[in-house]
Structure 1
């Protein structure tokens, strides 16, 4: 079902859902996001539109500008749901600027921190056959924004409550420690014989390539696709819109 058909079937009473991803140049990663948006569209039966904060078009401000303005007090006509696993510059600046001055367009928080994301991480770990004594490096994209780093720390703490071995954090880009640094530090600290990198990314792309090249004994696939992601996106949408 395309976006126009979804909008027609849902009527005009429910806000548009603008799914805002980071963006990637890799076709496989682009397709994962499009598939996720299609699944959200079917899951919620609402008009779902794609948007990005970097690399790809359409940018989120362009998509918001394409939403017709409605009378004040009639409720939101659109909700921007960041398809990002942590808050940070893209959420608090890019998305915030795109919705600034539009009382009829609201922004939801990032998908994480959320225990359900950790459930997906652990499912990917099991799929990769990683032993439960291994050191896990939770590998996030990386951001210099301390709010994003704080969200990743919360996610790592969530993971520690479920994992028997040590849990460290590594970043695919931008800040230290890098994923490769975290792998090296775990080995230098004598943390078991096996070190695994748990991808904390939504889709494949440049950052996933960094994870796979970090020199760990194991690595996992990104989180999408997964049915729990539909529930998280739906919750963010409903909480922000009241729909």
Structure 2
């Protein structure tokens, strides 16, 4: 990061005393992921032009989160994970990386939440999901996976919310670190008589896990969540909740009555897990 960029970020972060929103992405070797995340941040900026919005990565891509926080200087910031469950990165890596700045807080991950289900449903519809599915339809909710029990709980809750929305069985499955795998879940649903099994891509951006999961679909597979408008609204909702804003009154449609696990979090996991290659 150049000195000019750092100075510009410090100026932006302190404008009007508004805490900056720092979106924390995992990072990926797939170049499509970075361009997707940047486009999503542009959507967030369009929704709230006065809010300073920055990007920081846990690994693999620049800017890395510590560099983003250094550039913000003494400015207050809310870190919103662009992650969907309470896995190792949310519960340990991000708090560790944000431990030094005194004016930083960490928001909850994006799932489970009705706005996340909005995006999942929309992506399935784009892929060919019918308006009125029949008894032979079912969905595998493909997620990255984690050894953290809380992460699997969150994915299961998202699957339950999506099942209620679609009116069909939705089985959570994982690309790594947990079972069932996506192919195993597909086979189980097929054995139960479901001839139209779709794979819903519960990934924020394109990458290896999303590609592998889609390849296991016997029928249709949805695209990653990407720049869907509900994702931009959800990032802002998590930011507001972390600041203690009145989320119920100001939340966009779909955000009220959410099932979540708190706003700002510094929790530590009971177990650790290796970093997952993306």
- TM-score, normalised with respect to structure 1: 0.88
43, 56, 63: which one aligns with 1:58: 63
Q: Are the aligned partners of 1:7 and 1:47 in contact in 2 as well (CA < 8 Å)? A: no
The Cα shift of 1:6 comes to 11
The Cα RMSD (Å) is 2.3
Counterpart residue number, 2:164: 161
Unaligned runs of 5+ in 2: 246-278
The Cα shift of 1:40 comes to 1.4
Rate the CA distance shift 1:14–1:167 in 2: closer, same or farther, 3 A.
same
Rate the CA distance shift 1:146–1:5 in 2: closer, same or farther, 3 A.
closer
Distance 2:13 2:91 in 1: 33
Distance 1:29 1:188 in 2: 35
1:3-152 equivalence runs, <5 A: 4=8, 8=12, 11-45=15-49, 46-69=51-74, 77-131=76-130, 132-133=133-134, 134-152=137-155
Rate the CA distance shift 1:41–1:204 in 2: closer, same or farther, 3 A.
same
Distance 1:65 1:6 in 2: 9
Per mean C-alpha deviation after superposition, the further-off stretch among 10-19 and 149-158 is 10-19
The Cα shift of 1:43 comes to 2.0
173, 176, 180: which one aligns with 2:176: 173
Q: Are the aligned partners of 2:175 and 2:213 in contact in 1 as well (CA < 8 Å)? A: yes
Q: Are the aligned partners of 1:20 and 1:80 in contact in 2 as well (CA < 8 Å)? A: yes
Distance 1:178 1:197 in 2: 12
- After the TM superposition, which parts of structure 1 deviate over 6 Å for at least 4 consecutive aligned residues? none
- TM-score, normalised with respect to structure 2: 0.78
Counterpart residue number, 2:255: none
Q: Are the aligned partners of 2:214 and 2:221 in contact in 1 as well (CA < 8 Å)? A: yes
1:186-205 equivalence runs, <5 A: 186-190=189-193, 192-205=194-207
SS in structure 2 at match of 1:11: helix
The Cα shift of 1:242 comes to 4.7
Rate the CA distance shift 1:213–1:61 in 2: closer, same or farther, 3 A.
same
The Cα shift of 1:125 comes to 1.6
Unaligned runs of 5+ in 1: 71-76
Q: Deviations over 1:222-241 (max 9, x none)?
A: 11211111211111112223
SS in structure 2 at match of 1:162: helix
Q: Are the aligned partners of 1:136 and 1:197 in contact in 2 as well (CA < 8 Å)? A: yes
Counterpart residue number, 1:229: 231
The Cα shift of 1:103 comes to 3.1
Q: Deviations over 1:86-125 (max 9, x none)?
A: 1211111011112224331111110111011111111122
SS in structure 2 at match of 1:85: coil
Q: How many residues in Structure 1 have an aligned counterpart in Structure 2?
A: 235
Q: Are the aligned partners of 1:81 and 1:108 in contact in 2 as well (CA < 8 Å)? A: yes
Distance 2:175 2:238 in 1: 26
